[in-house]
Structure 1
């Protein structure tokens, strides 16, 4: 009898060993926020061929699998890879090759940074980005007098932080053929005392495009790789790039296929008749790393530069309403054309007038359709009657750090009553059941943990204001995490392949040194990313 039992045990052991499956990776000893439907918390999971194979408890999966690699997280915290639902990935990379003007506290500091840049680079054409007159003691647009004097023969074009205003020196204006007689629809060329100041707003900026040197192929590749490194270090595994030209999309595709770029990109195609016709004819283009299925269109400008289109005049500038950047009739024609395809339309809309136009147009062309997920990018100021238009056809994509960046001066632009319906993320969430979160980088900081912090606290990183800016519109921690993972994936029609740690999905995940779901709110901005994985492989 003992001999028979021994043979059974030996047989069982040999069978168990034979059945133990070889896999690529075992992640163990972790606190894993799966962000599944039940918001389950687990301890281990197995990865094979770049996807999640099984999720379980610490100590059990090891009995069934033989991993090529084991990642003992040592009790740290695992989340699905973060998704930035609205950013400018390629623009971030190009920014690394320009003058960085973010954080400047005066125009004098702007000039100083340009001088330092030029001493180092000796460029024959200077570009830069990041200045914000709202951060200066004198909160007014600068003039180009100093740049004209210091750089009489070198063209300079420097963009405001939001990308909706630029300052150009005299020689740059001359090369672009801009004079006091130049007219533009949907923008503004600012003059003082019959003289150009060098400030161009919204559509007027396009007049400079013909003179700005195009980056070389080497510079483009360098830009994309630089952007990827920054994003991976912050735990991002997918970025929605809001407005790319066909040439850049095809470059990204080639680099991804050559395994030279790992970041997953949701590409919004920049609106032009040429781009629209090409992609409507070609159809949606999808690979494991690239998804091209939407068009990015601008309805208006930005609030900080008073380009956002408002129903009533700006509180701090009487009889000024901002401006629409697209003719409403042309917009409706474009929306109708896209509605007949499977493509999304993703519309930049800041002011209540712009949002009203977009929402009502979306509603009219999508009325007989369902689950189109056409997006309002920013959805920043919504008039009371217009919230009702948000639905499963019309989806909000917002940037929580915009609220905490603008809160110091937004009341000056909008007034107390209008401000109540601005940055209303909780209300938008209640209307739609989901909301996608992003940063709009490089306008804001790349770090998605700052998105999370701003969404739940409505404060800046110094803890101001003590009670939070319009705190009733704050999201819960679970809502914020879903907004930058599974709901962001949903906004891209990608919720079945990413956005949560579930069986069958891509093994995209991030490991943090502290638990953002439980630590004190004030500590969240200092949380560090320990590792970022794409397809179950360490990417940073």
Structure 2
């Protein structure tokens, strides 16, 4: 009888084991930051069909589920996949495949890199980007005299780091028929002693770029896939692509169809009249990878190239206030149309005049409308009285802009205006959330630099000792939320990503150190050991 009882019990146990629900993966022995509302930690989670299905102690999950794969994290720290809330995805790919001008210390350094690249590649046209004259001993704009001698017949376009100015050689200027008398609304032609230097600012660049040879589809595909690889390397699982034209969107969509592009993209369609017409008629586009629900319009240029639109003249150039690159009439009319749809409007505004104008337009057209989640991209210099207007407008900011610009920003705008610049804590207090990004390739892709700049407000040499305007530093929790759940919220995606919670995509990363407790000076050197998208390892 006893033997029979043992057999019956054993049969019952085996039956129960067989009936355990099947999951794809269980991750155990981890130090997990869920970034949920309570900012809870966990040690294990289960994944099925690309989503988190349970979060609990490892022994509970292993007793509850049968898993195809068990991943032992060996005590490593896990975060939700990072979201870059403002970047330029194809631009990153183009930079990875061309001359890297970031970190150049002089114009001679720029020339050496271009010569070395062209000697190897022998291309009929050369485009590169990344120089910043503010990092050079001579901080004046370069001119194209040497470029013209070195490359008399090859068009050369060397973009400033922010993309708002380009140095063209004469062969390139000739493509756009640019002469000493050329002019364009929203653009500037930098001259020296009355003659063109080759530096064109903001919309003036389009005279050349509109005539620049178009990259082949194969080249653009290569760039997009290179950008994806780089993003996965740094733990980015979603990127907000700011200002994308129809041709690029079509290529992206084809790559999703063939499963070559896997990274999740939240696309801001360029806010041209044609694209606004098209998407307002078509409606929101939403797949697991591609989400198109917003338009991007630029109100002004960049501070480094003195294109940011200010309410008073530049402190170091009294003759200029900056450049309005889009008329306020166009912006307001577009805003009215978009306000009556399910789409966001996300407007680039750097200077205090641009932010003031955009906030007033937003306030006017959004009156009585709920949960529109419109954004101001950069919100870089804000007048004291305008901070309160961010009470229903999401500030989308890039902390490394503060630590890149801090050496010369006061020269540009003076000490008083600087108090309202890069004011991330004030903006957070106004809205209650911040979306954090990099603006790559204007800045580096590395999101740990974003985290470090937001918290420490210092460069990698720990300058300045007390932090740049440290009163506007974020806490580590605020910075992490800005790179995950708040960035997801800014995309209307908080129900599906941005935290490790049941029902959300299993997008997560495993790091070699805990950025929430590590010495802040070590955070920029954090390595992503593994990146998972929908439960599948992609790096």
Structure-2-length-normalised TM-score: 0.98
In structure 1, the residue corresponding to 2:295 is in which secondary structure?
strand
State the SS of the aligned residue for 2:445.
coil
Q: Describe the SS at the equivalent of 1:130.
A: strand
Q: What RMSD over aligned residues (CA atoms) do the two structures have, in Å? A: 1.2
Alignment of 1:534 with 2:533, yes or no, is: yes
What does the per-residue CA deviation read over 1:401-431, in whole Å, with 9 as the maximum and x for residues that have no partner?
A: 0000000111111111110110010111111
Q: Which stretch shifts more, 65-74 or 438-447? A: 65-74
The answer to whether 1:304 aligns with 2:307 is no
Once the two structures are TM-superposed, the CA of residue 4 in structure 1 deviates from its matched residue by 8.2
Structure 2 partner of 1:498: 497
Partners of 2:250 and 2:167 lie apart in 1 by 31
**1:426–1:5 Cα change, 3 Å:** farther
After superposition, the C-alpha distances for 1:53-94 in whole angstroms (9 at most, x for unaligned) are 100112221111111111110000000000000000111011
1:426 is matched with 425
Task: Tell me the CA shift for residue 10 of structure 1.
Answer: 2.9
Aligned to 1:239: 239
2:259 is the alignment partner of 1:259: yes
3-state SS of 2:279 partner = helix
SS in 2 for 1:112: helix
Distance 1:178 1:458 in 2: 41
Q: Could you say what secondary structure the match of 1:214 adopts?
A: coil
Q: How does 1:127-166 map to 2 (within 5 A)?
A: 127-166=127-166
TM-score by length of 1: 0.98
The Cα offsets for residues 349-405 of structure 1, whole Å up to 9 and x where unpaired, read as: 00000000000100100011011010100000000111111123x110000000000
**In 2, Cα distance between the equivalents of 1:258 and 1:166?**
35
1:271: how far off?
2.0
- Paired residue secondary structure (1:123): coil
The alpha carbon displacement at 1:12 in A equals 4.2
1:515 paired with 2:514, answer yes
Mean Cα displacement is larger for which, 377-386 or 8-17?
Answer: 8-17
Can you list the C-alpha shifts for 1:480-499, whole angstroms capped at 9, x where unaligned?
A: 00000000000000000000
Is 2:400 aligned against 1:401? Answer: yes
CA–CA distance in 2 between the matches of 1:10 and 1:173? 84
* Cα deviation, residue 208, structure 1: 1.0
Partners of 2:417 and 2:131 in 1: CA distance: 27
Whole-angstrom distance in 2 between the partners of 1:123 and 1:255: 27
Can you list the C-alpha shifts for 1:28-72, whole angstroms capped at 9, x where unaligned?
A: 110000000111100000000000010011222111111111111
Q: Separation in 2 of the partners of 1:269 and 1:497?
A: 22
How many correspondences in the alignment? Answer: 539
State the SS of the aligned residue for 2:391.
Answer: coil
SS of the aligned residue for 1:415 comes to helix
- 2:416 matched to which residue of 1? 417
The answer for unaligned runs of 5 or more in structure 2 is: none
Matched residue, 2:293: 293
Q: Distance in 1 between matches of 2:194 and 2:444?
A: 38
The offset of 1:134, in angstroms, is 0.2
Distance 2:287 2:200 in 1: 39
1:332 & 1:255 partners in 2: Cα distance? 35
- Aligned to 1:467, what secondary structure does the other structure show? coil
Q: What is aligned with 1:83?
A: 83
Cα separation, 2, equivalents of 1:246 and 1:464: 42
Q: CA offsets per residue over residues 268-318 of structure 1, 9 Å max, x none?
A: 101222111111110100001110000011000000111100001111111
Superposed counterparts of 1:45-84, under 5 Å: 45-84=45-84
Cα deviation for residue 19 of structure 1 reads 2.2
Structure 2: distance between partners of 1:280 and 1:403: 35
Q: In the TM superposition, what is the alpha-carbon distance from 1:2 to its structure 2 partner?
A: 5.5
Runs of 4+ in 1 over 6 A off after TM superposition: none
Task: Name the CA distance, whole Å, in 1 between partners of 2:9 and 2:410.
Answer: 76
- Give the Cα separation in 1 of the matches to 2:210 and 2:318: 34
Q: Give, in angstroms, the shift of residue 255 of structure 1.
A: 1.0
What SS is found at the alignment partner of 2:468? Answer: coil
Provide the C-alpha distance between the structure 2 equivalents of 1:4 and 1:357, rounded to a whole number of angstroms. Answer: 84
Distance 1:231 1:292 in 2: 20
Which deviates more, 357-366 or 184-193?
184-193
Q: Name the structure 2 match of 1:38.
A: 38
Pairing 1:194-209 to 2, within 5 Å after superposition: 194-209=194-209
2:283 corresponds in structure 1 to 283
Q: Tell me the distance in 2 between the aligned counterparts of 1:179 and 1:513.
A: 55
Written as runs of structure 1 = structure 2, the 5 A alignment for 1:270-419 is 270-392=270-392, 394-419=393-418
Tell me the SS of whatever aligns to 2:10: helix
SS in 2 for 1:94: helix
Match of 2:108 in 1: 108
Residue 137 of structure 1 deviates from its aligned partner by: 0.3
CA shift digits 1:211-264 (9 cap, x unpaired): 211110100110010000000000000000001111211211221122111100
Tell me the secondary structure at the aligned position of residue 178 of structure 1. coil
Q: Does the aligned pair in 1 maintain the 2:344–2:373 contact within 8 Å? A: yes
Cα deviation digits, residues 95-146 of structure 1 (max 9, x gap): 1232211111000111111111110011111111001000000101001111
Deviation for aligned residue 1:3:
6.5
- Structure 1 residue 173 displacement after superposition: 1.1
> Comparing 245-254 with 433-442, which one deviates more in the overlay?
245-254
CA distance in 2 between partners of 1:474 and 1:210 (Å): 41
Q: Report the equivalent of 2:456.
A: 457
> What does residue 488 of structure 1 align with?
487
Q: Is the 8 A contact 2:175 2:212 kept in 1?
A: no
Classify the secondary structure of the residue corresponding to 2:248: helix
